[in-house]
Amino acid sequence: MPSVTVENYLKQVCLEQSRRGGDELVPMGRLAEAVGVTPGTATTMVKSLAEADLLRYAPRAGVELTPAGRRLAHRVLRRHRLVELFLVEVLHMDWSEVHEEAEELEHTISDKVLDRIDELLGHPATDPHGSPIPRADQPLIREDSVALASAPVEQTLTVTRIVDHDPEFLRFAEANGLMPGAKTRITQHLPHADAVTVETENHEPVTLGLAAAARVLVQSEDDDVT
Ligand SMILES: [Zn+2]
């Protein structure tokens, strides 16, 4: 079984790659930041992962997963996201507190237990934050939602996903109705304040800074949902 460190590197490369549409290499600086190590440490690790054929490393350009690396990354993400959903749906934990638990359990839960969870939950497609639950044999998941920060004004939008799992931010999102599946609408762009005002069904209008609005992904009604 791969170590926790290996799994975390592969997971972060996978997340960064899908954020970038899947075609771009992930710069080493970005990866080091995501894993929480210095660039030097990340480079040493990446070289050994490349030797194990889990990553492709292009010096000065960045990294991408090989098919073997992607399979492992998807297994970790699958465990993380199924565990999150289990904790919310079955153990009734708050969606703001399950990410930390899943960060641990994603490395330790057995396939047998995970399969039972998947079955119990009816083979769900997304986790409580709206992130897709991958299968190990699936190609890289492409993000087809856009950030609320760059969505069009005065259009009906559906919240698809919250990408920041910081408990404070999740509580803020929930208090303002910004949950996966909710309908919302940008009523105002305030470029000089770096902010947008949104109106979400059954909630008072709220103003979000663009940094916060970048953490909420939405789909416009007119988009094809694929
Ligand atoms: Zn999470």
pLDDT greater at residue 43 or residue 2: 43
Predicted local distance difference test score (pLDDT) of residue 200: 95
* Ligand 1 centroid distance, CA of 81 (Å): 6
Q: Which of 118, 142, 166 is the last residue of a domain?
A: 142
- On whether both 117 and 193 belong to a single domain, the answer is no
| Domain membership of residue 1 as a residue range | 1-142
- On whether both 134 and 161 belong to a single domain, the answer is no
- Residue 52 inside a domain? The answer is yes
Identify the burial level of 125 via C-beta atoms within 10 angstroms of its C-beta, where 0-12 means exposed, 13-18 middle and 19 or more buried: exposed
Q: Which of 142, 157, 172 is the last residue of a domain?
A: 142
Q: Are 63 and 31 in contact (CB under 8 A)?
A: yes
Bridge partners, residue 220, by sequence? 157
* Ligand 1 centroid distance, CA of 51 (Å): 29
- How far from the centroid of its chain's Cα atoms is residue 140's Cα? 13
* Ligand 1 centroid distance, CA of 200 (Å): 24
Q: Are 55 and 63 in contact (CB under 8 A)?
A: yes
- On whether both 42 and 129 belong to a single domain, the answer is yes
- Residue 225 inside a domain? The answer is no
Q: How many domains does the chain have?
A: 2
* Ligand 1 centroid distance, CA of 43 (Å): 25
* Ligand 1 centroid distance, CA of 70 (Å): 18
* Ligand 1 centroid distance, CA of 160 (Å): 15
**Does position 226 have pLDDT exceeding 50, yes or no?**
no
Of the given ranges (37-41, 72-76, 135-139, 189-193), which has the lowest mean pLDDT? Answer: 135-139
* Ligand 1 centroid distance, CA of 225 (Å): 23
Mean of pLDDT values over 46-72:
95
Question: Which residues make Cβ contacts (< 8 Å) with residue 190, sequence separation at least 6?
Answer: 196, 197, 207
* Ligand 1 centroid distance, CA of 84 (Å): 7
- On whether both 99 and 164 belong to a single domain, the answer is no
Predicted local distance difference test score (pLDDT) of residue 46: 96
Predicted local distance difference test score (pLDDT) of residue 2: 79
CATH assignment of the domain containing 153: 2.30.30.90
CATH assignment of the domain containing 35: 1.10.10.10
Question: Which residues make Cβ contacts (< 8 Å) with residue 223, sequence separation at least 6?
Answer: 144
- On whether both 67 and 94 belong to a single domain, the answer is yes
* Ligand 1 centroid distance, CA of 165 (Å): 6
**Does position 112 have pLDDT exceeding 60, yes or no?**
yes
The DSSP result for 71-128, as a single string, is: HHHHHHHHHHHHHHHHHHHTS---TTTHHHHHHHHTTT--HHHHHHHHHHTTS-SB-T
* Ligand 1 centroid distance, CA of 99 (Å): 4
- Residue 226 inside a domain? The answer is no
Q: Are 179 and 169 in contact (CB under 8 A)?
A: no
Task: Kindly state the percentage of the chain with pLDDT values over 70.
Answer: 93
Summarize pLDDT for 150-181 with one digit per residue, the tens: 899 999 999 999 988 889 999 999 999 999 99
Q: Which of 92, 124, 142 is the last residue of a domain?
A: 142
- Residue 168 inside a domain? The answer is yes
Cβ count within 10 A of residue 105: 19
Tokens of 66: 């090989």
Question: Considering only CA atoms, which of 74, 78, 75, 96 is closest in space to residue 87?
Answer: 96
Q: How far apart are CA 137 and CA 143, in angstroms?
A: 18
**Does position 207 have pLDDT exceeding 70, yes or no?**
yes
Q: Are 217 and 130 in contact (CB under 8 A)?
A: yes
